[in-house]
C-alpha cells in the first residue's frame, strides 16, 4: 500500500503541473517556482507533514519537497539564531541537492547538442 500511496501523490502533483503547462502560457520554470512556493506554504500550514505521513517517500520526490526543505531550514535557523539565522541556515539542508544539480547539469551539457 505504501507504493500505491507514493505513486498516487507523485502522480497527482505531476498531473497538476502538466495541466498547468497545457492550459496556460506559463513556462516550466514558472511552474517549478510555483510548486516550490506551494511546498513551502503547505509546510507552513502543516499539510505537508500529513502528506509525508500518508505517502512516506512519495512526498519527497516532487519539486514541492524543495520548498518544504527550504521552509524547515529557515525555521530551524530562526529558532536557533533569530531573524538573521533564518537566512544563514536557509541552504543547509538543500545545498547537496543544489550542488548536485549544478554538477550534473554541467556534465550533461558537455554531451548534449544545442538545438538550432
Could you please report the per-residue DSSP string of 10-54?
A: HHHHHHHHHHHHHHSS--HHHHHHHHHHHHHHHHHHTHHHHHHHH
pLDDT (tens digit per residue) in 27-40: 998 999 999 999 99
24 pLDDT higher than 90: yes
pLDDT tens digit string along 98-111?
Answer: 888 899 989 988 88
Residue 116's pLDDT is: 66
Choose between 87 and 22: higher pLDDT: 22
Round the average pLDDT of the chain to a whole number and report it. Answer: 88
Cα 62 to its chain centre, rounded Å, is 6
pLDDT at 89: 82
**Residues 67 and 39 sit within 8 Å (Cβ to Cβ):** yes
Q: Which three cell numbers stand for residue 38?
A: 506551494
The total of other beta-carbon atoms located within 10 Å of residue 4's CB is 10
Amino acid at each position: 500500500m505504501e507504493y500505491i500511496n507514493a505513486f498516487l501523490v507523485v502522480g497527482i502533483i505531476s498531473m497538476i503541473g502538466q495541466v498547468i503547462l497545457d492550459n496556460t502560457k506559463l513556462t516550466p520554470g514558472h511552474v517549478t517556482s510555483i510548486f516550490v512556493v506551494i511546498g513551502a506554504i503547505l509546510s507552513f500550514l502543516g499539510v505537508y507533514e500529513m502528506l509525508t505521513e500518508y505517502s512516506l517517500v512519495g512526498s519527497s520526490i516532487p519539486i514541492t519537497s524543495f520548498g518544504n526543505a527550504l521552509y524547515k531550514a529557515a525555521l530551524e535557523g530562526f529558532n536557533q539564531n533569530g531573524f538573521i539565522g533564518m537566512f544563514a541556515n536557509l541552504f543547509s539542508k538543500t545545498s547537496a541537492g543544489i550542488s548536485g544539480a549544478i554538477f550534473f547539469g554541467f556534465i550533461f551539457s558537455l554531451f548534449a547538442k544545442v538545438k538550432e
